[in-house]
Amino acid sequence: MVVGINRFQWHNKQMETARVLLADDHAVVRTGIRTALEDLPNLEIVGEVGDGNELIQALEQLKPACLLIDVTMPDFEPISTIRWIRARYPDLTILVVSAYDDDIYVQGLLSAGVNGYHLKDQPLNDLRLAVTRVLSGERWISSTLLDKLLKPQTVDNHLPQLSSRQQDILSLLVEGLDNRSIAQELNLSIKTIENHLTRLYRQLGVHHRLAAASFVHEHPELLAHSGIMAQNDPVPVQLPVDQQTAILVVDDNKRYRSQLRRMIGKVQPNAMIYEAGNMAEALHLVEKVVPWLSFVDVVLADEDGIICTRRIKSKLPASRVVLISAYPDREFHRRGLEAGAIAFLDKKDLDAATLRQIIQDAVG
């Protein structure tokens, strides 16, 4: 039996034909799915792909309304790519058809934006029902997964303490980089990265990278960096006892984020400093860690840091947001202040003295 969630009535009137794309690296599986679905009314299977590269091309060329996908295909990083697909094709219905029934795996994909999760070991008639339901606007989860997903989760207050190197590796994994790319980014061998990941999985109690990414999504404090005060650093700003100590840095340039994080850490070593590379990550952290001060780049790849500022302020009206930019512009300055930022600064002017003053003003 399979259960639909948030059930809506399926209209009996004639509907526009839904274009469906199949994505699975096993041709025999695609054939089985095609056979199961081909006689459904108002549905047309417009293409099949077997890896991530083919999928991206097919989405652009075929413009499907529904994607049936096994996210363990080659050349496909599940969490980051599903988020990218969801952002680029917001009206696309995504149904994962997978053999994995790990609840953390499922939760990670649901949080990334899929509309449903169907297990491959269920009858093909149930798959037909799943496709019908998600196309009608419902969220779908195979019933065998529901007990796991609805089971009360115990809170583990003893999260593992990770080294800076482990945090760097885990951060890049969450961003969607594969082992080779992580090795290149950190100037390490692939074997070293593999060894680190084996130990990380063991520490987190997970078995694969998707589960690790999902675990970090639920526990962002794993990637928080505490400030480190060197011998000749100035006396740090003293925060009130009840003052939140989370500071958020939002910038799409990882190297600059790390540089700014280290500068902040010298000024306020007691703060827990979080990093985000885009708006979605920033808003997730805002809800999880409630930063009292955020530094947001005006340009976040193809996103708008001013909109990000406005959304942070809508979630946390009392928080302080400082907009930063390598290309200061008067109009950006005006719009940023209207969005609720307390300051708009040129990145080249951000030194220890300026950061110290900003933190003092935010506290005061």
**CATH number (domain holding residue 201):** 1.10.10.10
309 class by beta-carbon count within 10 Å (0-12 exposed, 13-18 middle, 19+ buried): buried
Contact 270, 227 (CB under 8 A): yes
The 10s digit of each residue's pLDDT in 88-139 is 899 999 999 988 877 667 777 887 889 999 998 888 888 999 999 999 998 8
Q: Are residues 6 and 144 in the same domain?
A: yes
Whether 214 has a pLDDT exceeding 60, the answer reads yes
Domain that holds residue 193: 164-222
State the average pLDDT over residues 221-227: 71
**CB neighbour list of residue 311: distance below 8 Å, 6 or more residues apart:** 279, 283
CA 112 to chain centre: 6
> What's the DSSP call for residue 137?
T
* The model scores a pTM over 0.75: no
- The predicted pLDDT at position 364 comes to 54
Q: Give per-residue pLDDT as tens, 343-362.
A: 898 988 888 888 888 877 76
pLDDT at 59: 95
Cα radius of gyration rounded to whole Å, the chain: 23
pLDDT exceeds 70 at position 267: yes
Report whether pLDDT(221) > 60: yes
Burial class from Cβ neighbours inside 10 Å (0-12, 13-18, 19+) for residue 283 reads: middle
Mean pLDDT on 144-161? 62
Residue 8: per-residue pLDDT:
41
In this structure, the answer to whether residues 57 and 73 fall within a common structural domain is yes
Among 150, 178, 198, the domain-final residue is 150
Highest mean pLDDT among 149-153, 241-245, 297-301: 297-301
Give dist(CA 303, CA 325) in Å, integer.
Answer: 14
pLDDT of residue 7: 40
Identify the residue whose tokens are 């999902």.
Answer: 214
| CB atoms near residue 253 (< 10 Å) | 16
Res 79 pLDDT > 90: no
Q: Are residues 244 and 198 in the same domain?
A: no
User: pLDDT value at position 15?
Assistant: 54
Q: Pick from 120, 150, 180: which residue ends a domain?
A: 150
Which of 329, 327, 216, 187 minimizes the C-alpha distance to 274?
Answer: 216
Give me the pLDDT at residue 241, please: 35
Q: Are residues 257 and 246 in the same domain?
A: yes
Question: Starting from the edge strand earliest in sequence, which strands make up the sheet with 93-98, in order?
Answer: 2-5, 139-142, 116-119, 93-98, 66-69, 18-23, 43-49
Cα(298)–Cα(296) distance, integer angstroms = 6
Check whether 242 has a pLDDT greater than 50: no
Task: Say how far apart CA 52 and CA 72 lie, in whole Å.
Answer: 9
What is the distance between the alpha carbons of residues 243 and 148, in angstroms, rounded to a whole number?
Answer: 37
* Mean per-residue pLDDT of the chain: 81
213 and 112 together in one domain:
no
Would you state the pLDDT for residue 151?
55
- Is residue 122 exposed (0-12), middle (13-18) or buried (19+ Cβ within 10 Å)? middle
